[in-house]
Amino acid sequence: MLNIEDLHVRIGDKEVLKGINLKIKEGETFILFGPNGSGKTTLLMAIMGFQGYEVTRGKIIFRGQDVTHMPTYERARLGIGMSFQRPPTIHGLKTKDLVQLCARDKEVDVPAMARTVNFESFLERDINDGFSGGEIKRSELLQLMAQDPYLVLFDEPESGVDLENMVLVGKTAKKLLDGPTEPSPFESMRDRRARHNTSGLIITHTGYILDYVNADRGQVMYNGVLCCDSRPNRPRDILDHISKYGYKECVRCLN
Amino acid sequence: MSELKEKNDPVNLDIYSFSGGDEAQQQDLAGISADDRGQLLMAGMDVREAHRSGTFLQFDHAQVHCKSCQKGVEVLGINDALKKYDGLPDYFWKAIDKEQDEFTRASAAATTQGGYFIRTEKGAKISDPVQSCMFIKGENTGQNVHNVIIVEEDSEVHIITGCATSHGVSSAMHLGISEIYVKKGGHLTFTMIHNWGDDVVVRPRTVGIVEEDGVFLSNYILLNRVKSVQSYPTVYLNGRGALARFNAVIVTPKGSYVDTGNRIVLNAPDTRGEIVSRTITTGGINIARGEIIANAVPAKGHLECKGLILGDGVIHAIPELVGTKTGVELSHEAAVGKIAQEEIEYLMARGLDEDEATSTIVRGFLNVDIMGLPKELKETIDRTIAEHEGEMF
Ligand SMILES: Nc1ncnc2c1ncn2[C@@H]1O[C@H](COP(=O)(O)OP(=O)(O)O)[C@@H](O)[C@H]1O
Ligand SMILES: [Mg+2]
């Protein structure tokens, strides 16, 4: 799905990512830990291809295509979707219209989709205008549901979200990654799962999201490089380790 | 600044003919040509009169059609109203001073005048809008219009008033005096849509006076090229609890000079005023004014003025706040600039290319949902905006 090789990224004069190697397989969910300022958000921004994140070395391969220098919208159309941490307000652009735009030519039932994230009453509102932390997350997830990407990039799903919203955000993120969890009369559960091969790259500090999604692997970003590969299906071990010993172990690990 | 001065040439009133054009009463809306219909539609006038409680249409100085189709609202030509009501002594040239400037003087001195008189009955809630349109068809016409609107106590009405020029006309001038009275508890929504021609000079003079608990909501839309507009509609909130809100959406293409804004004077306690303007220049010049004056407490006012420069045009925002009493609360925010890169990137991350993202943001910026317009009119405006996108970026 995603194959990042020796990626170096500069913001202005500062080299923030210093040789990232990362593989995420189809249907795999990868968790990224790491202290503030280590470069986690930068990695997501570089994968999405935003201005100001200059790739100086290495490449990003997505589903077999080199997207390293592709414009953002082409990456989105290929199936990379991102949940923003602090999305901008766009005046006069109704939430429902943006959700429809995310779906492009696909037929989507926007109100029905909104219902699943308890967001119907926001559809007529200008996107992100006065949204609370939890509302932003639900809005971002709703847009991602409409976009239906192959790879979901999710920056700190728990930030600014209260407990009640966290349950909804967690469950929705799971549904986005796993696909529908109920069998359908037309398709066996196994076939449904097989068709649904969404991958995830999730940044978390608290690990709350791990209560909801099935994380396959995890690593720590430290000062622009990745370290501490978790055992398969055990990204939580990393979290436990960090909460016990802090990130100082990473320094040792890297030296 | 020198560029601004150069462009706003002084108006030579002598080249326009302010008389004539008042014959030929064509009382039949069906006789209007398809092309003129299109121009009228873009100025908010639906010649089928669907969902309208009244219509007033004037070509140059000739009243073409005048009718009210709903009880509780009277629609007359101004000359008929002056006859019927003994010269409207309490209203005609009462809110505006004849001697205010050369244009009010020219209007008062002109031998021919058009314009409408619209009055609601006390307590009447008029559900469908009244529409009016001043249409210029003759070359070098100086159209002189004097309108009087009276919203009687506890009544409610939406007036959509458009101005347009026939495609054949290149040069013309419009002088418009509008005196608007909202009585105690009255509620007026006043939507003005301008659809002028490339070489038309426009000098409206508008004043509103609002009594206790009265509400004056005003919308102004100008999307097409016009040589020059200069106006500063002013509303006086003279009664306790009165409210005024102005919304404006203005586009100035290359060749347009638009100097306009709104002024609200808070003269009584518990009054509130709000001005929101969104302007885009694609090469023209826009002086975006706004002024809230508070002479009583408690009184609140907020002014918001946003400008986007998409061509090599000029936006000169002049927000002004004047408080003359301890305790007034006035604020403003003004911003002139370009589309935020962050907004474009957000939409690009959803799969929109740069042009799609830009046009989505511009449409949002010019969005007129807040104005509460009838559906077809809103669709016409949205279509006009879409047609302009080509020249915007
Ligand atoms: N726009 C920017 N301009 C300059 N430096 C930046 C910018 N964005 C991020 N950085 C720097 O890059 C480093 C990594 O930031 P970031 O990727 O946001 O970290 P994280 O998400 O892991 O907290 C930090 O040192 C930060 O200060
Ligand atoms: Mg971050």
Please check whether residue B347 touches A, CB under 8 A. Answer: yes
Please tell me the distance from the alpha carbon of residue A82 to that of residue A7, in angstroms, as a whole number: 19
Distance from the alpha carbon of residue A43 to the mean position of ligand 1, in angstroms:
10
Please tell me the distance from the alpha carbon of residue A166 to that of residue B372, in angstroms, as a whole number: 37
A121 DSSP 8-state letter: G
Residue whose tokens read 């009010």: B104
The minimum-distance atom of ligand 1 relative to the CA of A221 is: 22
Q: Are residues B302 and B378 in the same domain?
A: no
Cβ distance A147 to B350 less than 8 Å, yes or no, reads yes
Alpha helix (H) ranges present in chain A? 40-48, 72-78, 95-103, 110-116, 133-147, 163-178, 189-195, 235-245, 248-254
Mutate to test the interface with A, among B348, B360, B368 (most CBs of A within 10 A): B348
CATH number of the domain located at residue range(s) A2-254 in this protein: 3.40.50.300
Tell me the torsion sign for CA atoms A164, A168, A174, A180: positive
Q: Are residues B347 and B282 in the same domain?
A: no
Q: What pLDDT is attached to residue B1?
A: 43
Q: What pLDDT is attached to residue A188?
A: 63
B387 half-sphere exposure, CB direction, 13 A CA radius: 9
Cβ distance A92 to B342 less than 8 Å, yes or no, reads no
- Where in chain A are the domains? 2-254
Secondary structure (3-state) at A70: coil
- Reading the block at residue B83, the tokens are 């006859």
Please tell me the distance from the alpha carbon of residue B334 to that of residue A51, in angstroms, as a whole number: 27
Q: What is the largest CA-CA distance in chain A?
A: 57
The number of beta carbons lying within 10 Å of the beta carbon of residue A26 is 12
* DSSP state string for A145-213: HHH--SEEEEE-TTTT--HHHHHHHHHHHHHHHH---S-BTTB-HHHHHHH---EEEEE-SS-GGGGTS
**Cross-chain CB nearest to A72 (options B348, B365, B366):** B348
CB A85 near ligand 1, within 6 Å: no
Phi-psi label, residue B88: left if phi above 0, alpha if psi -120 to 50, beta otherwise: left
Cβ distance B350 to A48 less than 8 Å, yes or no, reads no
The minimum-distance atom of ligand 1 relative to the CA of A52 is: 1
CB A157 near ligand 1, within 6 Å: no
Distance from the alpha carbon of residue A7 to the mean position of ligand 1, in angstroms:
16
Cβ distance B350 to A93 less than 8 Å, yes or no, reads no
Cβ distance A92 to B340 less than 8 Å, yes or no, reads no
The answer to whether B212 touches B241, Cβ cutoff 8 Å, is yes
Cβ distance B360 to A93 less than 8 Å, yes or no, reads yes
Q: Are residues B161 and B180 in the same domain?
A: yes
CB A204 near ligand 1, within 6 Å: no
Q: Are residues B200 and B55 in the same domain?
A: yes
The answer to whether B262 touches B234, Cβ cutoff 8 Å, is yes
Q: Are residues B347 and B323 in the same domain?
A: no
Residues in chain A: 255
Q: Are residues B158 and B235 in the same domain?
A: yes
Helix H, strand E, coil C: the string for chain B is: CHHHHHHCCCCCHHHCECCCCCCCCCCCHHHCCHHHHHHHHCCCCCCCCCCCCEEEEEECCEEEEEEECCCCEEEEEHHHHHHHCCCCCCCCCCCCCCCCCHHHHHHHHCCCCECEEEEECCCCECCCCEEEEEEECCCCEEEEEEEEEEECCCCEEEEEEEEEECCCCCEEEEEEEEEEEECCCCEEEEEEEEECCCEEEEEEEEEEEECCCCEEEEEEEECCCCCEEECCCEEEECCCCCEEEEEEEEEEECCCEEEEEEEEEECCCCEEEEEEEEEEEEECEEEEEEEEEECCCCEEEEEEEEEEECCCCEEEEEEEEEECCCCCEEEEEEEEECCCHHHHHHHHCCCCCHHHHHHHHHHHHCCCHHHCCCHHHHHHHHHHHHHHHHHHC
CA A176 to centroid of chain Cα atoms: 11
Which helix or strand (DSSP H or E) is residue A62 part of? strand A54-62
Please check whether residue B345 touches A, CB under 8 A. Answer: yes
Tens digit of pLDDT at every position of chain B (393 positions): 444 444 567 888 888 888 776 665 555 777 888 888 888 888 888 888 888 999 999 888 888 888 888 899 999 999 999 999 999 999 999 999 999 999 999 999 988 889 999 999 999 999 999 999 999 988 888 899 999 999 999 999 999 999 989 888 889 999 999 999 999 999 999 999 999 888 999 999 999 999 999 999 999 999 999 999 999 999 999 999 999 999 999 999 999 999 999 999 999 999 999 999 999 999 999 999 999 999 999 999 999 999 999 988 999 999 999 999 999 999 999 999 999 999 999 999 999 999 999 999 999 999 988 888 888 889 888 888 888 777 666
Q: What pLDDT is attached to residue A194?
A: 60
Question: Number of folded domains in chain B?
Answer: 2
- Reading the block at residue B122, the tokens are 């006390």
Instruction: Taking each helix axis as running N to C, give the angle between helix A163-178 and helix A133-147, from 0 to 180 degrees, rounded to the nearest 10.
Output: 10
Here the contacts of A179-183 (C-beta below 8 Å, separation 24 or greater) are none
Q: Which residues of A touch B342 (CB under 8 A)?
A: 88
Query: What is the pLDDT confidence band of residue A180, given thresholds at 50, 70 and 90?
Result: low
Residue A184 predicted with pLDDT over 80: no
Pick the residue from chain B with its C-alpha nearest to A147: B350
Q: What pLDDT is attached to residue B2?
A: 40
Q: Which residues contact A20 (CB under 8 A, 6 or more apart)?
A: A4, A6, A7, A8, A43, A58, A224, A225, A226
Read off the pTM: 0.87
Percent residues over pLDDT 90 in chain A: 73
Specify the range with the lowest mean pLDDT, choosing from A97-106, A185-194, B326-335.
A185-194
Q: Are residues B350 and B330 in the same domain?
A: no
Q: Which of B132, B103, B252 is nearest to B192 (CA)?
A: B132
Q: Are residues B124 and B267 in the same domain?
A: yes
What's the CA dihedral at A214, A216, A219, A224 to 10 degrees? -90
The answer to whether A139 touches A119, Cβ cutoff 8 Å, is yes
The answer to whether B109 touches B140, Cβ cutoff 8 Å, is no
Q: Which residues of B touch A91 (CB under 8 A)?
A: 364-365, 367
Q: What is the mean pLDDT of chain B?
A: 91
What mean pLDDT do residues A168-174 have?
Answer: 93
Q: Are residues B372 and B308 in the same domain?
A: no
Please tell me the distance from the alpha carbon of residue A141 to that of residue A161, in angstroms, as a whole number: 13
The alpha-carbon radius of gyration of chain A (Å, integer) is 18
Which helix or strand (DSSP H or E) is residue A9 part of? strand A2-11
Cβ distance B350 to A92 less than 8 Å, yes or no, reads no
- B residues 136-165 lying closer than 8 A (beta carbon) to A: none
Q: What pLDDT is attached to residue B26?
A: 58
Distance from the alpha carbon of residue B203 to the mean position of ligand 1, in angstroms:
54
Name which residue sits closest to atom 25 of ligand 1, judged by CA: A37
Residue A87 C-alpha, separation from nearest chain B C-alpha, in angstroms: 7
Q: Are residues B32 and B62 in the same domain?
A: yes
**Cross-chain CB nearest to A92 (options B356, B357, B364):** B364
B5 half-sphere exposure, CB direction, 13 A CA radius: 2
The answer to whether B159 touches B189, Cβ cutoff 8 Å, is yes
**Containing domain of residue B386, as a range?**
341-393
A162 class by beta-carbon count within 10 Å (0-12 exposed, 13-18 middle, 19+ buried):
exposed
Residue A227 predicted with pLDDT over 90: no
Q: What pLDDT is attached to residue B387?
A: 82
Residue A26 predicted with pLDDT over 90: yes
What mean pLDDT do residues A142-157 have?
Answer: 95
Q: Are residues B300 and B384 in the same domain?
A: no
